[in-house]
Amino acid sequence: MAKFYLVTVFIFISLSSFAQKKPDTLRRDTTKHLNPVTVTGYLTDQPVLSVPASVSVLTPAQLQLQPGSSLVPALNTVPGVRMEERSPGSYRLSIRGSLLRSPFGVRDVKIYYDEMPLTDAGGNTYLNAIDVNNVQGLEVLKGPDGSLFGANSGGVVLIKPVNRYNDSSYTTAGVSSGSYGLFHENAALQNHSPNNQLNIGEAYQTAAGYRQNSNMSRTFFQADDKLSVSQKDQLKFLGFYSALDYETPGGLTLSQFEADPQLARLATKTLPGAIQQHAGIDQKMLYGGAVNEWHISDRVRNVSTIFGSYVDFSNPFITTYNQRYESTFGFRSYFEWSGKPDTAINWKVNLGLEWQQTNSDINSYGNRGGVRDTAQTLDHINTNQHFFFARYFADFGKRWHLETALSLNFYDYEFKNVFPNDEPNFTNRSFTPQLMPRVAVSYQVTNDFIWRASVSRGYSTPQTAEIRPTDRTINNTLQAEDGINYETGFRLRNQDESMFIDASVFYYHINNAIVPQENADGTAYYINAGGTDQPGLEVNFTDWLIRRNHTDFIRGLQFNLSVTYDKFTFSNYQENGVNYSGKNLTGVPEQVIVGSLQVRLPAGLYVYGQYNYTSKLPLNDANTAYAGAYSLVQIKVGWETRLNGARLGIFAGVDNLLNQIYSLGDDLNAVGSRYYNAAAPRNYYAGVNVTF
C-alpha cells in the first residue's frame, strides 16, 4: 500500500512541475513533434487522446525494447493486464481479473489477428502459437467490449502482424541466445510496390527451461500480402503455421518450492510425476484468411473477412493423454457510412455481422509413460457463435465525442459421446440471445485534456474447455456470466505530445462467475461461483524528459510508469457448505507497479531498464494460501549503427537482476496445495539484428 501511495504522490508532483513550465522552456527540443498514437480497434483510426474507452497501445518501438523472446514483459507494462508464463511456451493472459477462468491457455479475452478473430467459437485462443518477433504492434481494449467484438467479459486484444508505418522494402534477420538453453532466430522480408506489399517471416525458438521437464521449441512461418485491386479496393491475404512443443513441469507444494524450485511435479503414493508421464503439449496450428476493404463511395465502405484454422493438440498429463482436433471457419463483415465532412457534427455509423463455427474432437486416453494408451472418453463438440453489431459515433464541435454500440449475441453448442456410450445423435444446448450495449462519451476540456466515461455490459458463455474439461465429463449446466462495467477517466498531454497520462477508475460486477476446481487426480472442472465485485484504478504515465539534438551526450531520456490498484472480491459465493463471499479474487494481485527508463546516448548506444513490483496474490478461493510479492528488474543495453548500407543492432540484457525466487503463473485451487511454478532466477541474453 505504501508503494502505491508513493507512486500516486510522484505522479501528481510530476504533473504540478509540468504545469509550472512554459512549453517553450520545458525542453531544449529541436526535433519535430512525436507521431500521435492512434487506435484502430473501433473500426476507424482515432487519436488515442479522444477515444472514450480504456485503450492501451504497444508500438513496434516499445516491443523492440523488450528481451524479444516473449510477450510477457511487454504486455505486463499495460495497467490492468497480467500475462504469465508458467514455463517456456505456457502462456496465460488476463485483463482485469479474467485469469480466474484460465488454469492454462487464454480464455475470456477476445483476440484478433489483424481483422480476423484468433479466438475460436469455443472461446479458446492459442496465443502461444505466435512468435513475438512477428508481432508489429498491439492494442488492448480493457473491460467488457462485446458491442463490436462479441461475447466477452474480460477485454479485447488486437494483434498487428504488419508494421503499418513502414512502407519500404527490406530484408531483416536476427539471432539471440541466453541462459537455460534459450536460442531464437528470425528472418523476414517486405517487398513494397505501388500496388502490392508482401511480408514473409519465419522464426525458430528453443529453450531448455529453468525447471526439470520444461524444454520448449517452436517453428513459425507467417505470410501477409496486401493488394491494391483498384484505388477503392484493397485485398489482404494473411496467415501462419506454428508447430509448438513444450514440456509442463507441473506445480509444487510450498515446501518443495522452497527446498528446490527447479523440481518438476513429484510422484505420490497414488500418482506418478511429470517426468515419468512425459507431461507436455504438442500443438500444431494452421491459420489464415482474407480481408477485403472496398470504398463504395467517398462516404461508404465495406470491410469483409473470411478466416479458418485447424489445430492438432496433444497433452500427455499425469493421469490421462488428451488429444483435440479442432477446425474453425467463419466470416466477419461490416459497412461504414460517414457523414459529410466539414460539418458541425462529424458522425459515422457501422453495421456488421461476425459468425464462426468450431468443430472439436476431444479425446482422452490412458497415459503410459508418455505413450497414448486405451481410450477412456471420446467426445464431439460443435460450437456456433455469431452476433450482429451496430455502432454510432459522433463528434460534436470537436469537443464532445459520443459513441453508442449494441450487439445481439447468439451462442449454442451440440455434443455427443462417441465412446464409451456410442451416442447416435447430438444433444443441443442453446443460450438465449443476449444484447450487449455500450455507451461512451468524452469531452475535450482543452486541446490537451479530455475526460471520458462509459457504461458497458459484459457477457461470456461457458467455453469449450469449461464444458468438456480435463475431468472427461461434459458439463451442460454451466451458466453464462454477465455484468455491468462503469468507468470514468481522463487523458492529458503537453503541447509537443512528449508527455502523456491516462488514468481511469472502474467498477465491474459479474454474476454467475465461472471458477475452476480440481479433483484429487489433478483434473479440472468448473462451477458457477455466485458473483464478483471488481473496483479498480489504472494509471499510465509517459514522459520524454529529454529529447535533444545529436550533439548532446544524453540524446533522449524517457520515463514510463503504469500503476494497477484493485480490490476484486467474491460475492454470494458458497460451495460445499463453505461461504467464500468477501474473499479476494483468486490469482489477482491488488497492486502492480511497472516503471521503466530509456536512455539514448551518442553513437547509437542506448540503455533500457524496467522494474515490476507485483503484490501478493491468493492461490485458492478460501484465501488460505498466498504467493508472495516480488520485484523484478531487467536491463537491456544496445548499439545501433549503419554499416555498408545495412542497419546493425547488437544488444545484451539481464532479467530478474535481483535474483528473486518467485512464481510467474501459479496453479489456482490446486489439490494437494501444488500451487507453485518457479520462474527463472537471474538470467542473461544477447543477440544481433541486421536489416538491409
* pLDDT tens by residue, 633-644: 999 999 999 988
Enclosing domain of residue 685:
2-691
pLDDT value at 25 more than 60: no
Give the separation between CA 257 and CA 399, rounded to whole angstroms.
56
24-40 average pLDDT score: 52
Q: 616 with 628: CB under 8 angstroms? A: yes
Position 622 scores a pLDDT of: 94
Per the listing, cell 523492440 goes with 64
Position 550 pLDDT exceeds 70: no
176, 685 Cβ separation under 8 angstroms: yes
User: Region 233-246: what's the mean pLDDT?
Assistant: 96
Nearest to 135 by CA among 162, 171, 158, 112: 162
Supply 311's cell numbers: 489445430
CB atoms within 10 A of CB 235: 15
How much is the pLDDT for 127? 93
Q: Phi-psi category of 75—alpha, beta or left, where left has phi over 0 and alpha has psi -120 to 50?
A: alpha
Integer CA distances (angstroms), 136 to 43, 64, 109, 163, in order = 18, 9, 20, 5
CATH number at residue 233: 2.40.170.20
The pLDDT value recorded for residue 554 is 86
Residues 444, 350, 483: CA angle, nearest 5 degrees? 75
Q: Residue 621 has which C-alpha cell? A: 478461493
State how many domains the chain has.
1
Mean pLDDT for 346-353 is 94
Taking the alpha carbons of 120, 124, 127, 128 in that order, is the dihedral positive or negative? Answer: negative
CB 192 within 8 A of CB 168: yes
Q: How many CB atoms lie within 10 A of CB 284?
A: 16
Please report, rounded to a whole number, the percentage of residues in the chain having pLDDT higher than 70: 94
Cell, residue 689: 539484428
Residues 561-595 pLDDT 10s: 999 999 999 998 888 888 999 999 999 999 999 99
Band (pLDDT 50/70/90 cuts) for residue 499 is very high
Confidence at residue 8, expressed as pLDDT on a 0 to 100 scale: 42
For the chain, the maximum distance between any two Cα atoms, rounded to a whole number of angstroms, is 78
CB 254 within 8 A of CB 221: no
As a whole number, the mean pLDDT across the chain is 89
The reply to whether omega before 420 is within 30° of 0 (cis) is: yes
Residues facing residue 189 across a β-bridge: 171, 200
For 460-478, b where at least 16 C-beta lie within 10 A, e where not — what string? Answer: bbbbbbbbbbbbbebeeeb
* Dihedral sign from CA coordinates of 303, 338, 433, 508: positive
Question: What pLDDT sits at residue 11?
Answer: 41
Whether this model's pTM surpasses 0.75? yes
| Average pLDDT of the residues in 408-437 | 93
- Helix/strand number for the chain, H first, E second: 6, 40
- pLDDT score recorded for residue 101: 75
